[in-house]
Structure 1
Amino acid sequence: MNKDNLLPQNDIHRRIIHLDMDAFYASVEMQEHPEWKNKALIVGQDPRRNGGHGVVATCNYVARQYGVHSAMAAIQAVHLVPKELLVFTKPRFEKYRAVSAKIHAFMHEITDQVESVALDEAYLDVTHPKVNQESAVQIALDLQKRIKQEVGLNSSFGVSYNKFLAKMGSEYAKPFGRTVILPSEAQSFLARQKIEKFPGIGPKTQEELHKMGVYTGADLQKAEVITLLQKFKKQGYVLAQHARGIDLNPVVTDSETNRKSIGMERTYEPAIYTEDEALTNLRNYCNHLEEEVKRRNFKAGTIVIKVRNNNFDTVTKRKKLKYPSDSRFDFYDVARDLFERTTSFLDDGIRLLGVTVTDFEQKKYQSISLFDY
């Protein structure tokens, strides 16, 4: 069987930018505390003062040199970094959202086709921009320069003809990276990458691919589509497309994600394998959701959790509260109960975890933006 005849026709006519702020939370903190720039700065609860609990929300590049990364157990970070260099600071999401809003305002001056993935990350479809500039690369350069000049923060971008390649590009040369992947270069670029660099391939999938002799994009390009489908189901089909530079997913604008809910979700790389880490993140989400609900004078009647594992199996569970509430404790009690019905997902590693509050008491309010971190 021809290994490509199951795949959709590629579309190389779009111009997509993926913008990713470099160590966003940590960079915001270092702006206000320049004395931390040469320290290993970790944004998250200090486990030495928190009974050993907590996870790393993000960290600066000094900390990353010692092996610290987002979603790592904070206590593990303590053991990796020399004591004299280690600094913990609590997340300040109100501050991060304010800075993010300014950056997103820049994006919306360029195009209405903006998909916010997180406070520090977004896709822009600049096939038909609002600015008088036809070059997607120049648009990205101008945006990166403006963020540096007016906000004082570094960012990285990738430019290509689809979202997958644009994201690959932004990750390729961090920090302050600039990567352009042309249609004629896509397959050769992907062939040179280790599969660990492909977004969406977690440790469990990596292990299975290694057993098949697949270590690079070139190896993945040689794999039969039918084999990947049989082995990994839906994810296998996505892998086959990505290996060949195919991603037909459109940029979904913020207005198209209109919803009567407030939610937080995050994709984890590496995945979560322990219940304690998952519940810690759920608790943090609920703390933040309480702030958002109270700020809008809402009370929520329903809690929804979303869990996805490394095999791309996804489950969404919801439960009504006994009474509408704006309390983090009520949110967490229900979220924890719902999560305990999905703990089998830990076996394959949880790569996405989210909590949403909805069914608001005040019906006159309309959509609320999704907040990720």
Structure 2
Amino acid sequence: MESDKGTSDNRKIIHIDMDAFFASVEQLDHPELRGKPVAVGGNRERGVVAAASYEARRFGVRSAMPAAIAARKCPHLIFVKPRFERYKEISHQIRQLFLEYTDLVEPLSLDEAFLDVTENKLGRPSASLLAREIRERIKKETGLNASAGISYNKFLAKVASDLNKPNGQAVIPPDKAEAFLENLPIEKFYGIGKVTAQKMKALGIHSGFDLKQFSLSFLISRFGKSGLHYFEIVRGIHLSEVKPNRVRKSISVERTFEKDIFSTREIEEALNLITSELLGRLERTQAKGRTITLKIKFNDFSIQTRSKSLPEYIKQEEIPEMGMELLRQESTMAPVRLLGLGISNLFQSKSGSLPGEQLKFDY
């Protein structure tokens, strides 16, 4: 039966999120790292942290933080090089486990995915018990911890998976959603980043309750098309379905750095890290494209995109050099807040889709 939220209260969505995935894999494969603060990516002098173990996070180390700052925050931090092939291998293993429960699996990245278990393969009614079983199996079969969120839509499931991290789960049932969202700090809403949260706080919006006081027309006037999204999610409305075979316009990776990065070496190393992850995603999806786009957000929040298109599909081994070429189009560069690299104008052999017209790159 359809509820007044505009979605079915009977839907059961699980969001699985691996805990500190890259760092946890390194600790799994290297027992001497267990229980110690670990940063994947960078070194004490330069580079950017791709992931941090929970031991490192206690010192304030976060992903996308310049490695030199991370080293100052945690003097005994251990830096390790990322191994995306290994992360991809374990991600595939976990994905196959998900498919034993439902075919409706929508991966978001190597370390997280949505599962629609409304009608699951085991015929079990409790999504919470299924989530617990899935997490226990992940632990048993990979040695890694996962957290889970369970609710009736993707947005709430995603928010819930963050509530009891690490190695926990939380449920937001339909009859509790409204009160939960009203009490949720605005920066905890999935999809509302630091900049948007600052804009909202300047308007007196500090929680979901505050957000609900503003009309749809006002939110659209201040936040554009995103205003409709904010208006709906605070009311528990999010109609997006779990789409296992969604058609992608682009495959991209981007990182917002906790502190602006200044030096050419830091920026280039950050791009190398992003490129490595992008190559992993392209290989995993068996996708290829004709357009490569670099996105740069500077410390004044101005954004610049640079693209290059080829008449034929770009070979994977060409991507690192092409990305660096786009980065070096300017000899001088302001401090960088965000970097992104993506491939568009796609052909995905798994789906059998045919190459189409030039597509706009969209982060």
- Which interval holds the TM-score relative to the shorter structure? 0.7 to 0.9
Tell me the matched-pair count.
341
Aligned residue in 2 for 1:355: 342
Aligned AA (1:69): R
Q: Secondary structure at the match of 1:256?
A: coil
Aligned residue in 1 for 2:183: 192
**130 and 199 in structure 1: CA distance in 2 versus 1, 3 angstrom threshold:** same
Preserved CA contact (<8 Å) 1:27 1:153: yes
Aligned residue in 1 for 2:253: 265
TM-score normalised by the chain length of structure 2 = 0.81
**205 and 291 in structure 1: CA distance in 2 versus 1, 3 angstrom threshold:** closer
Aligned AA (2:17): D
Aligned AA (2:56): A
Q: Secondary structure at the match of 1:252?
A: coil
Aligned AA (2:243): V
Aligned AA (2:148): F
**189 and 120 in structure 1: CA distance in 2 versus 1, 3 angstrom threshold:** same
Preserved CA contact (<8 Å) 2:12 2:127: yes
* Superimposed CA distance per residue, residues 129-188 of structure 1 (whole angstroms, 9 cap, x where no aligned partner): 122312111111110110111111111000001111000000111001210000110011
Aligned AA (2:6): Q
Aligned residue in 2 for 1:250: 241
1:148 is aligned to 2:139: yes
198-207 or 318-327: bigger deviation: 318-327
31-40 or 182-191: bigger deviation: 31-40
Q: Secondary structure at the match of 1:134?
A: coil
Aligned mate of 2:118, from 84, 102, 127:
127
Quote how far apart the aligned CAs of 1:283 are: 2.9
Write the distance in 2 (CA, Å) between the matches of 1:17 and 1:182: 12
**299 and 222 in structure 1: CA distance in 2 versus 1, 3 angstrom threshold:** closer
Aligned mate of 1:33, from 23, 30, 33:
30
Preserved CA contact (<8 Å) 2:288 2:343: no
Aligned AA (1:203): K
Aligned residue in 1 for 2:192: 201
**293 and 61 in structure 1: CA distance in 2 versus 1, 3 angstrom threshold:** closer
Aligned residue in 1 for 2:224: 233
Write the distance in 1 (CA, Å) between the matches of 2:273 and 2:44: 14
Aligned mate of 1:19, from 8, 16, 19:
16
Q: Secondary structure at the match of 1:131?
A: coil
TM-score normalised by the chain length of structure 1 = 0.79
**275 and 355 in structure 1: CA distance in 2 versus 1, 3 angstrom threshold:** farther
Aligned AA (2:217): I
Preserved CA contact (<8 Å) 1:202 1:269: no
Q: Secondary structure at the match of 2:199?
A: helix
Quote how far apart the aligned CAs of 1:285 are: 3.1
Quote how far apart the aligned CAs of 1:224 are: 2.2
Write the distance in 1 (CA, Å) between the matches of 2:173 and 2:225: 27
Aligned AA (1:356): I
Aligned positions of 1:1-373 closer than 5 A: 9-48=6-45, 52=46, 54-81=47-74, 83=75, 85-253=76-244, 255-257=245-247, 263-266=251-254, 268=256, 280-287=269-276, 301-305=290-294, 318-321=307-310, 325=315, 326-336=317-327, 350=338, 353-356=340-343
Preserved CA contact (<8 Å) 1:202 1:270: no
Preserved CA contact (<8 Å) 2:66 2:257: no
Quote how far apart the aligned CAs of 1:12 are: 2.8
Preserved CA contact (<8 Å) 1:16 1:124: yes
Write the distance in 2 (CA, Å) between the matches of 1:265 and 1:63: 24
Preserved CA contact (<8 Å) 2:156 2:172: yes
Write the distance in 1 (CA, Å) between the matches of 2:158 and 2:67: 27
Quote how far apart the aligned CAs of 1:284 are: 2.4
Unaligned runs of 5+ in 1: 1-6, 369-373
Percent sequence identity is 36
* Superimposed CA distance per residue, residues 244-293 of structure 1 (whole angstroms, 9 cap, x where no aligned partner): 1111111121x33478x8x4424648697879676644332334556788
Preserved CA contact (<8 Å) 1:161 1:183: yes
Preserved CA contact (<8 Å) 2:306 2:326: no
Quote how far apart the aligned CAs of 1:210 are: 1.1
* Superimposed CA distance per residue, residues 326-362 of structure 1 (whole angstroms, 9 cap, x where no aligned partner): 2344321454379x7xx99x7xx65x834126678xx
Quote how far apart the aligned CAs of 1:223 are: 2.3
Q: Secondary structure at the match of 2:174?
A: coil
**144 and 327 in structure 1: CA distance in 2 versus 1, 3 angstrom threshold:** same
Superposition RMSD in Å: 3.7
* Superimposed CA distance per residue, residues 93-149 of structure 1 (whole angstroms, 9 cap, x where no aligned partner): 111111111111010111111110011100011112122312111111110110111
